[in-house]
A and B are shown apart, each in its own frame.
Chain A
Amino acid sequence: GAQLRSCKDEVFLAASPLLRKITAIAKKYGVEEVNPAVVSLISHATQERLRDFASKLSIIAEHRVEIYKM
């Protein structure tokens, strides 16, 4: 049968300030409640976004050094 292997879900962003922030934004759109799963989902997505951004920056930085050497 299928085996489920999992590791502890580490949360990247601080949960309660993040929930406060999400709730504040949601209010502007008339959304009163936020499902708790949204908090960790947003946290994972933000981590992914920053990881992608940082890896692009690192490539750009390498190129800058390359040009500088010439």
Chain B
Amino acid sequence: ATLGSSATDSRGVLDRTRLRELVKEVDQLEQMDDDVEDVLLQVADDFIENVVSSSCQLAKHRRSNTLEAKDVQLYLERCWNMQIPGFGSEEIRP
């Protein structure tokens, strides 16, 4: 079943085996219905759409035609309270 799929193709971006592994990581006893898997795939899809769209607007705002990691990082920090280290913009402290 496809829940209102977006214009861009998302099949093949995330496979179900990886998804199941992730859920097992969170809770070893978790049993997941196929429906729930579909919802999680949709959540991933919406998330990517949301983050990329907003980050592109930030890139445009600094008058660039290239989407950079710093655009994505800024959006993730501000709107999702998410910090992903290892992409060069943060200072490395000894």
Contact = CB atoms under 8 A, between A and B. Distances in A.
Interface string A16-28: 0110111011101
Interface string B60-84: 1000111111011100100010101
B15 A47 contact: no
Contacts of A33: 65-67
Interface residues of A, number: 40
Contacts of B49: 25
A43 to B, nearest CB: 9
Contacts, number: 132
Given A18-B13, A46-B47, A35 B8 contact: no
Main secondary structure, interface of A, reads helix
A17 B22 contact: no
A35 B53 contact: no
Interface string A47-70: 111110111011001000000000
5 contacts: A9-B86, A17-B9, A26-B56, A26-B67, A41-B72
